[in-house]
Structure 1
């Protein structure tokens, strides 16, 4: 079977307040994504960027959500493109952009699976709603939206919800959760490996358990990797860094184990902000992790 990769840039910074993350796709391309992944695929097609433009910040009066209409509009465009890529038989790789882009990615992917699994590799849970969010920033809500909780403009993108069942989600690397998120995790039974579990069990064990669980319960797995899941010493160019994160080497091991398991069917790498970075270090890290995810070997 021909191994095809389709790259989609989503230069959106509408889900939060720190400018610069819209340049994430450009930074990742500049870091050499095509050159790095070319030997690993038969075909690579870069579709360029979904048009986002430079709209002004608008706060929805009823929900207090920042840029609600615009995020819904742009997420719909992304969902349509991802859907098209999946139908073509290619692997969709989306470059962010803030983490609100996952709303569109999952809307485009999950319609092709009965039981889609999601690995949320992130310092945060992104399980807030308008009621629990301290900020009104939608980049803290995409996982909640994808399980059907949130504003209908977001949950109904693609014409269906939920996009994923709570029991099919595994969060890896969490170390900053709001009170409402903690309650929701317990209520919905979402599986979470915090930094405590990673330190105690080791990344190899965490990934073994994750892979075993998802293999048994899902028919496809989406990887949503926020670069702030890594420690800021390895990935400084992110909008919401949290110290004490996953190491560079642990992250490579995680990607290598996912590649060996052969379970990942779509992926996105988000929250690369070159304005906050050091010599494009975070984008380079993202590209190197993609290499491991897609089968790059030392020997």
Structure 2
């Protein structure tokens, strides 16, 4: 198998992704994200970082629809023209490319890239790619905390229609949180996993039983509607207060298919975008969010760029 490639953002094709409308003839601050993004090796202290995980090997192993490897490019393209609104700078750290289906090598490469950015003190947002991204992102966070001797409690918060707790190996887009559970058990650490937006029709009885056996906290999609928002946020706030660090991962198939058609498994019911966004804002405001990722965006199944814009909106809320 070939080694995964870390492609710097500066090595764009002939059609650069960071470009958009210029309103230089208008008054006031007209900057957009393509104006404030940095793609070089120099870092602005405290500025957030984007990484891409161009991989759908895990989706294919999980019998899903290929195409998520193209997600990072299209989310960036949708982000480029968003107004900066006071965001002075952020970095595009480039892409991890999964070569020849070698998922495990790509996940290790992602883990190293995440750990390196966190060591620089940068909030890191990873754009996927399938939900196999989670095993790489979590390992990067864990390596960073271990290097600091930090044994604080880590909440893995997943907005997702699926538990992704499958026990089959090798790993896939359906296994990352079971892999994290195994790693926590081997380390003698608590597995603190909260999955919000679970679909009863998207998970077998065996998966619900496995989640219960692992002590997973979960809320089904029928209880994650706008009328439930105050109660959900209050409960989440208490859960965040009890930990030291949060890793937020959003599988975009948690959104209704009308909002997010561009995933491997579109949701017939789903969690409304305003609810997902409110959760993002609460977690971001907690000061405990260390790393986040967006998973499963598949541009091959998008309609008029609607899915890309929804994903970009969530990425924007995480970066701003």
TM-score tier after normalising by the smaller chain length? 0.7 to 0.9
Give the CA RMSD over aligned residues.
2.5
> Aligned with 2:224: secondary structure?
helix
Whole-angstrom distance in 2 between the partners of 1:128 and 1:284: 30
The question of whether the paired residues in 2 share the 8 Å contact of 1:170 and 1:210 is answered with no
214 and 207 in structure 1: CA distance in 2 versus 1, 3 angstrom threshold: same
Q: Does 1:190 align with 2:216?
A: yes
Shift of 1:269: 0.5
Which residue in the other structure is 2:158 paired with? 120
User: Which of these residues, 163, 181, 187, is aligned with residue 147 of structure 1?
Assistant: 181
Match of 2:58 in 1: 15
Matches within 5 A, 1:86-235: 86-111=118-143, 112=145, 113-114=150-151, 115-130=153-168, 138-148=172-182, 161=186, 165-166=190-191, 168-175=192-199, 176-199=202-225, 202-216=228-242, 218-235=243-260
Matched, 1:71 2:124: no
Cα drift, residue 38 of structure 1: 4.5
For residues 201 and 47 of structure 1, do their structure 2 counterparts lie closer, same or farther at Cα, with a shift above 3 Å needed?
same
**TM-score (ref. length: structure 2):** 0.76
SS in 2 for 1:138: coil
1:35 Cα deviation from its structure 2 partner = 5.0
Change over 3 Å in CA distance of 1:288–1:163 after alignment to 2: farther
Determine helix, strand or coil for the equivalent of 2:113: helix
TM superposition shift of 1:122: 0.3
Aligned partners of 1:258 and 1:293 also within 8 Å: no
Unaligned 5+ segments in structure 1 are 56-66, 149-154
Structure 2 unaligned regions, length at least 5: 1-43
**2:299 maps to 1:265:** no
Instruction: Classify 1:293/1:48 alpha carbon distance in 2 versus 1 (closer, same or farther; 3 Å).
Output: closer
CA–CA separation in structure 2 for the residues paired with 1:193 and 1:180: 17
Q: Over alpha carbons, which structure has the higher Rg?
A: 2
Cα offset, 1:185, TM superposition? 1.2
Q: Distance in 2 between matches of 1:44 and 1:232?
A: 31
Q: CA deviation at 1:287?
A: 1.4
**Post-superposition CA distance 1:176-227 (Å, at most 9, x none):** 22233211111121100111332496123212211211221x2110110010
Counterparts of 2:81 and 2:46, CA distance in 1: 16
Tell me if structure 1 keeps the 8 A contact 2:125–2:318: no
For the 8 Å contact 1:231–1:242, the answer to whether it is kept is yes
Q: Which residue of 2 aligns with 1:151?
A: none
